[in-house]
């Protein structure tokens, strides 16, 4: 109530990207103290234990922070304090890049939605690896799995995309528990053209070759459906992918009423559930499926789990509901025991 009645109105007076940066700075300050994070987790957030074992990793609960919020890994420990069960950092590219020109993030409160066209703005794989190494040395690593989403630089031609993905993966994999191949952002020109079976297979193969045995997932667009979706899934599975994230943001290129970019939040809820069910039906019980899109509370998360997701991710709802949302979701979820794939220790 404090967030929605006091803090959210203040944040909403700011430009959306400025508010995002301010929130991220606050989280990064909290993440500098393990003692403070432990106090927030135990006294304020109070997430319910809902353990899941997937990809050989042990998740304290199935609610994760989606890629895009913490691109440069400045606050992993804070996300644990707020009640998340895992985090996906990035998307990170081999070389740092500024992303697309501002303004590039837009709120749609009536839809509980965001549109972004950030364009993989990040400091680069080397900077992320250095920061995570420093956090490990200072004992500020969170006690849950940390995934890293990887992508290609904007100027890299499609025929060299696999090299970019492999280069980024090789740099960050020592600091990741899993890696995500992001071929589905609508904000990097030509990226979604890589979702065909041949390119998905080539990129997953290149990433797995340098992943050091870490699980590799692929994140697909909500617009990918039918035979195209099944072909991409088959290609990824044939190259040993450990799981699938369904889905990324929805392109607004052919939509009215929204800025150009990727739409997330409420409008994606039903479509994300449909894609999760389709992916689960095709891949069977073995691979991990992470549901992402429109999760704004416990019922939404439970709905994705009920149609086949093992884990869920949120991002946009944090803007509208505040940082304690993940802990609240865990208290709503039904307890269940699920192990996906062979078990192996973290790290």
Provide the CATH number for the domain around residue 293: 3.20.20.70
pLDDT given for residue 337 in this prediction: 60
* Catalytic residue from among 149, 170, 184, 185: 185
Is the residue at 279 inside a domain? yes
Is the residue at 342 inside a domain? no
Is the residue at 218 inside a domain? yes
Q: What is the pLDDT of residues 203-234, one digit of tens each?
A: 999 999 999 999 999 999 999 999 999 999 99
Is the residue at 347 inside a domain? no
pLDDT given for residue 340 in this prediction: 67
Running DSSP on this structure, what letter comes out for residue 117?
A: -
Is the residue at 343 inside a domain? no
Confidence of residue 343 (pLDDT cuts 50, 70, 90): very low
Is the residue at 341 inside a domain? no
pLDDT given for residue 339 in this prediction: 67
Beta strands per DSSP E along the chain: 52-54, 57-59, 63-65, 86-92, 105-108, 113-116, 146-150, 178-182, 216-220, 243-246, 250-251, 262-265, 288-292, 311-314, 339-340
Q: Mean of the pLDDT values across residues 49-54?
A: 97
- Count of residues for the chain? 347
| CB atoms near residue 2 (< 10 Å) | 9
Q: Mean of the pLDDT values across residues 260-278?
A: 98
Domain residues for the domain of 254 are 2-336
Number of domain units in the chain: 1
Q: What tokens does 47 get?
A: 């997430």
Catalytic residue status for 5: no
Q: What tokens does 234 get?
A: 């088959």
Is the residue at 344 inside a domain? no
Is the residue at 38 inside a domain? yes
């Amino acid at each position: 109530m404090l967030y929605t009645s006091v803090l959210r109105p203040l944040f909403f007076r700011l430009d959306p990207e400025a508010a995002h940066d301010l929130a991220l700075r606050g989280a990064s300050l909290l993440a500098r103290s393990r003692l403070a994070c432990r106090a927030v987790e135990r006294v304020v957030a109070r997430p319910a234990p809902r353990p899941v074992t997937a990809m050989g990793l042990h998740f304290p609960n199935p609610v994760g922070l989606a890629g895009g919020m913490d691109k440069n890994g400045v606050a992993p420990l804070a996300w644990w304090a707020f009640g998340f069960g895992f985090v996906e950092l990035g998307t990170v590219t081999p070389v740092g890049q500024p992303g697309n020109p501002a303004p590039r993030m837009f709120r749609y409160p009536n839809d509980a939605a965001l549109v972004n066209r950030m364009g993989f703005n990040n400091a680069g794989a080397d900077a992320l690896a250095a920061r995570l190494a420093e956090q490990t040395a200072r004992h500020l690593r969170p006690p849950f799995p940390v995934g890293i989403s990887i992508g290609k630089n904007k100027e890299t031609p499609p025929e060299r995309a696999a090299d970019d993905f492999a280069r980024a993966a090789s740099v960050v994999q020592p600091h990741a528990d899993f890696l995500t191949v992001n071929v589905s952002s609508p904000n990097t020109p030509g990226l979604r053209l890589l979702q065909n079976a041949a390119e998905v297979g080539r990129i997953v193969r290149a990433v797995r070759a340098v992943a050091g045995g870490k699980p590799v997932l692929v994140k697909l667009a909500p617009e990918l459906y039918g035979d195209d979706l099944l072909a991409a899934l088959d290609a990824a599975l044939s190259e040993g992918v450990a799981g699938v994230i369904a889905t990324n943001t929805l392109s607004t290129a052919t939509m009215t009423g929204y800025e150009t970019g990727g739409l997330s939040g409420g409008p994606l809820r039903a479509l994300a559930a449909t894609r999760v069910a389709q992916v689960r039906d095709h891949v069977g019980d073995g691979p991990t499926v992470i549901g992402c899109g429109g999760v704004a509370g416990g019922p939404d998360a439970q709905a994705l789990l009920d149609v086949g997701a093992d884990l869920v991710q949120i991002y946009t709802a944090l803007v509208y509901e505040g940082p304690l949302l993940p802990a609240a979701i865990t208290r709503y979820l039904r307890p269940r025991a699920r192990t996906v794939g062979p078990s192996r220790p973290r790290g």
